[in-house]
Chains A and B, each alone.
Chain A
Amino acid sequence: MFSITLCPSTPLTRRVQGARSGHKPAEVLNERNRSLKLFSWKLILSVAVIIAATIYILPTINPGIWPHKKINLGLDLQGGMHLVLEVETEKAVESTIERISNDLKGILRTKHISFAAIERTEETKISVALQGQENIDGFEKILDKEFRELRILSRTRDNDLLKISMDLPDEATDSIKKLAAAQALETIRNRIDQFGVSEPDIRMQGENRILIQLPGVTDTQRAKELIGKTALLEFKLLDESREPELALSEGVPPGSEILYEIREDAQTKRVVKRPYLVKKGALLTGSYLTDASVQIDSQYNEPYVSIDFDKKGARIFENITEENVKKRLAIVLDNKVYSAPVIQEKISGGHARITGSFTTEDARDLAIILRAGALPAPVKMLEERTVGPSLGTDSINKGLLSMWVGGLLVLLFMAFYYKWSGVVADIALMFNIVIIAGTLAAFQATLTLPGIAGIILTIGMAVDANVLVFERIREEMFLGKTPRAAIDAGYERATLTILDSNITTLIAGLVLFQFGTGPVKGFAVTLSIGIISSVFTVLVMSRIIFDYFLYYRKIKKLSI
């Protein structure tokens, strides 16, 4: 053990002090005034910072003490879900083209213009083939009048056979894509709002990606189902000309398709797939829905989803049911058949019900997605990070435990190694942690597990600034300076070193903040805040404590 203590009685000290007070009393007085002034300026700033930090931390310790939010915990600490979805906007363009070609067919039929073929080719092109001058003229007229938006790609005429290929111009497809992405964002936001998640973060990322952060969600599977479903509701007539099993083996008649009903037996958990042969082309879609809600069937005591159509939808529904009495109408959601009831009579009023073997939860979720509307295009899951709540709690506990243990070891070591001065450094270190926590709360930054690691690292590195100062002070005292002179010189000479040795780590921290995502960003935040606040606590706060003892308590001995 070795410690330097300087007492007034040492001849060396007396000589230095004597020289100062003897020859330059005015200068000493001036210097002292200057120090006191600085001291008070620094003091006010420090006290203000500590009070502000404490005020911001209070809601985290005791919620409701004043209306500011708690420190934000990242998904890795409180559990929850992070999803990145891609809206397949290309599909929205395809369905627009499909709709346009259906419209074209409809108009040509009503105008009695016969065509050889109208079909969607290469995903987003319409190919039309017409025979006969009369038909061609009629078609051209309609094209000019009602389909001005279509761009003609190629046109071949072979005697009286016209083949024409068209698509939408680039600006139109771009705006369809943009609109689809925006609509998908809105729809997903609606669904999540209705599902009930506190403080979800849903936003566009780039052109067609949606970033979704759902903190604290426990039933992640349900949330995922709810978000990812396209929810395209369609009413289609069953093709009863052939048994579906027969169609499967012998071929599906043109204009029809096979769709499945998937049911899970509640007791045996066995999944049953049942095929239906339905006619292509929806008679009615979910776009006419105004409301959907869960009801309980009084007869079977089973939940079902009751849906209401708007006026136009109600009229279409009335027509369908009127024209197809005794036929079966399939209710199809995302190409899955939910039920295919027989139409008993004309239904007016625009009410319908979707039954299936629902649990109440399933029915509730279905009602939510029907109310929120269909996604304009399907979405694809690009990234998923789900953390269960128990793991989050584990992470917090382990992170905090290592912080306490590491911090305590450092505090003890400093007090042991630098004695009284070490205690000063320890006080500064504790203030440092208070400031980091306060800043996190004030700026509503997110604390993540790597963020806790950042705080731990700061505790280790914050000591560095103190060590630099103290080692300098020791050197100065070894050269025979008084405690006051040694402290002044120590701080003065160490300040520049402290500042620029921290800049490199700060550069790394700031770059990480710019490029990092989620947990890594949390690390960048605490590391950067920690570096700034540790420089502040060492250069300003611990200096105040030293000054206090030097100027007010007039200590003559420095235990360092």
Chain B
Amino acid sequence: MELIKRGINIDFIGKRYIAFAISGLLIIISILSLIVRGGPQYGIDFAGGTLIQLKFKTPVEIGKIKTGLSAMNLSNSSVQIFGDEEENEFLVRTNAPVTTNKEFSQSLEEALITATGNGAEIRRIEMVGPQVGKDLQGKALFAIFYSLLFIAIYISGRFEFKWMLSGLTAAVLMGSVYFLSLFKINLAVLIAAALLVTFAIFWQLNLKYAMAAIVALAHDVMITVGMFSIFDKEFSLPIVAAILTIIGYSLNDTIIIFDRIRENLKKHTKSPLAFVINRSVNETLSRTILTSGTTLLVVIALFILGGGIIHDFAFALLVGITVGTYSTVYVASPILNAWQGKTKKRR
């Protein structure tokens, strides 16, 4: 059986402006949403606070739960339905780290019974103090930074077969980050700076494959973060893990197509680059769709059946893998073409 007929020839490069428009639009929406909401929403992992998961025996109105909470001096907490509606589960969140001792849970249960006339089971309590929140933020940012560093080394080495250069890239990157960290700059800014430095190095050294890959990668992460903002979802540690996985996955796709481009460039020395890129994307299209398809299949299963706790994680993967597949075909390859067109040099 074949989904994609052999010898298919879709003009991907020819449609690049439409693709750029779509990507640009998505990124602008993402940025706008982030601006409107005042940056990404941090979950208690990073912001600190308390999360309580409640399960009622019979359906309850959110308003009544709130009444019960205000009796507990928890009036400024948010309450939302968690998981499937028929499970009567709710998530209560406050920004203050609450000490949940024996007295607290007892009086919470009582207050909820009085307000809703329905007994609630406390299924999960998560409390993160501000110090730990800060520590976890640091850890997450370090994880992002090191993955980017190693991946930058790997792609500059792997795509261009210049391992000496990639060593140099790493040294420059580490050096500049060290230099900036002397000024006690926020780690998030540091990572953005590191990305810019990487980009500048690739540009300077004319590492076009690596650069196209990095652009596609930034594109995927941007849109995933934007989607989280648009759907009002919170960033927690697992979401950071999902984003790093997306980075790995998106690169995986890019590597395979770029390898094929290089292989075909040797075969078709006379053809224009756009033709070779188109041909390569078409040749690997079947594989791209099959792999993303099966991966999406399992992620959708996780998204629908995995339950509330893993829901956002599955959502991040769902968005990231979709966007990652799209960006490999419609972002990384056209950028490679555009860059190549500028320098008029082929390799």
Q: Which residues of A contact B (CB under 8 A)?
A: 1-3, 76, 84, 86, 220-222, 224-225, 228, 380-388, 390-391, 394-395, 398-399, 401-403, 405-407, 409-410, 413-414, 416-419, 449-450, 453, 456-457, 459-461, 463-464, 467-468, 471, 475, 478, 497, 500-509, 511-512, 514-517, 519-520, 523-524, 527
What's the minimum C-beta distance from A160 to chain B, rounded to whole angstroms?
49
A471 near B127: Cβ-Cβ < 8 Å: no
Q: A residues within 8 A CB of B249?
A: 461, 504-505
B252, B307, B317: the one contacting A399 at CB < 8 Å is B307
The 5 closest A-B pairs by CB, nearest first: A505-B248, A406-B298, A406-B301, A460-B295, A398-B307
What's the minimum C-beta distance from A437 to chain B, rounded to whole angstroms?
17
B238 near A390: Cβ-Cβ < 8 Å: no
A464 near B237: Cβ-Cβ < 8 Å: no
* CB of B270 closer than 8 Å to a CB of A: no
17 contacts between A and B (CB under 8 A): A2-B1, A221-B102, A221-B105, A382-B132, A383-B129, A391-B123, A391-B124, A410-B294, A410-B298, A460-B297, A464-B291, A497-B256, A500-B158, A504-B255, A515-B139, A515-B146, A523-B241
Q: A residues within 8 A CB of B287?
A: 464, 467-468, 471
* CB of B99 closer than 8 Å to a CB of A: yes
* CB of B125 closer than 8 Å to a CB of A: yes
Q: How far is the CA of A239 from the CA of B234 in the complex (A)?
A: 56
* CB of B74 closer than 8 Å to a CB of A: no
Q: A residues within 8 A CB of B297?
A: 406, 409-410, 413, 460
Q: Which residue of A lies closest to B51 (CB)?
A: A385
A381 near B129: Cβ-Cβ < 8 Å: yes
B101 near A383: Cβ-Cβ < 8 Å: no
What's the minimum C-beta distance from A508 to chain B, rounded to whole angstroms?
4
Secondary structure class of chain A's binding surface, majority of residues: helix
* CB of B178 closer than 8 Å to a CB of A: no
Q: A residues within 8 A CB of B42?
A: none
Q: A residues within 8 A CB of B247?
A: 504, 508
What's the minimum C-beta distance from A74 to chain B, rounded to whole angstroms?
12
B101 near A221: Cβ-Cβ < 8 Å: yes
A506 near B248: Cβ-Cβ < 8 Å: yes
A467, A523, A524: the one contacting B290 at CB < 8 Å is A467
Q: How far is the CA of A402 from the CA of B245 in the complex (A)?
A: 19
Q: Given A382-B131, A450-B313, A225–B238 Cβ distance below 8 Å?
A: no
Q: B residues within 8 A CB of A508?
A: 147, 151, 244-245, 247-248
B310 near A453: Cβ-Cβ < 8 Å: yes
Q: How far is the CA of A460 from the CA of B292 in the complex (A)?
A: 8
A384, A388, A409: the one contacting B126 at CB < 8 Å is A384
Q: A residues within 8 A CB of B306?
A: 398-399, 402, 453
The total of chain B residues at the interface (CB under 8 A) is: 74
B295 near A507: Cβ-Cβ < 8 Å: no
Q: Given A388-B122, A390-B121, A471–B286 Cβ distance below 8 Å?
A: yes
B132 near A515: Cβ-Cβ < 8 Å: no
Q: How far is the CA of A512 from the CA of B148 in the complex (A)?
A: 12
B284, B290, B307, B309: the one contacting A417 at CB < 8 Å is B290
A461, A503, A516, A524: the one contacting B295 at CB < 8 Å is A461
Q: B residues within 8 A CB of A450?
A: 238, 241, 310, 313
A468 near B256: Cβ-Cβ < 8 Å: yes
Q: Given A383-B132, A502-B252, A509-B248, A416–B1 Cβ distance below 8 Å?
A: yes
B251 near A516: Cβ-Cβ < 8 Å: no
What's the minimum C-beta distance from B170 to chain A, rounded to whole angstroms?
13
Q: B residues within 8 A CB of A461?
A: 249, 291, 295
What's the minimum C-beta distance from B56 to chain A, rounded to whole angstroms?
13
Q: How far is the CA of A517 from the CA of B236 in the complex (A)?
A: 12
Q: Given A383-B128, A463-B294, A464-B291, A524–B241 Cβ distance below 8 Å?
A: yes
Q: How far is the CA of A222 from the CA of B306 in the complex (A)?
A: 31
Q: Given A225-B101, A511-B150, A501–B252 Cβ distance below 8 Å?
A: yes
Known pairs A2-B5, A457-B317, A461-B295 / 8 extra A-B pairs, C-beta < 8 Å: A224-B100, A228-B101, A385-B125, A390-B121, A406-B301, A511-B147, A511-B150, A515-B143
Q: A residues within 8 A CB of B300?
A: 406
B151 near A402: Cβ-Cβ < 8 Å: no
Q: B residues within 8 A CB of A503?
A: 154, 158
Q: B residues within 8 A CB of A2?
A: 1-2, 5
Q: Mark B185-222, 1 if CB is under 8 A from A, else 0.
A: 00000000000000000000000000000000000000
Q: Given A388-B123, A460-B298, A382–B1 Cβ distance below 8 Å?
A: no
A402, A449, A516: the one contacting B143 at CB < 8 Å is A516
B291 near A467: Cβ-Cβ < 8 Å: yes
Q: How far is the CA of A526 from the CA of B124 in the complex (A)?
A: 24
Q: B residues within 8 A CB of A502?
A: 252
Q: A residues within 8 A CB of B238?
A: 450, 519-520, 523
A512 near B295: Cβ-Cβ < 8 Å: no
* CB of B172 closer than 8 Å to a CB of A: no
A221, A405, A409, A504: the one contacting B248 at CB < 8 Å is A504
Q: How far is the CA of A519 from the CA of B335 in the complex (A)?
A: 37
Q: Given A1-B1, A406-B302, A507–B154 Cβ distance below 8 Å?
A: yes
Q: B residues within 8 A CB of A384?
A: 100, 125-127
Q: Which residue of B lies closest to A391 (CB)?
A: B123
Q: How far is the CA of A391 from the CA of B127 in the complex (A)?
A: 17
B143 near A514: Cβ-Cβ < 8 Å: yes
Q: B residues within 8 A CB of A506?
A: 248
What's the minimum C-beta distance from A269 to chain B, rounded to whole angstroms?
8
Q: Which residue of A lies closest to B247 (CB)?
A: A508
Q: Which residue of A lies closest to B5 (CB)?
A: A2
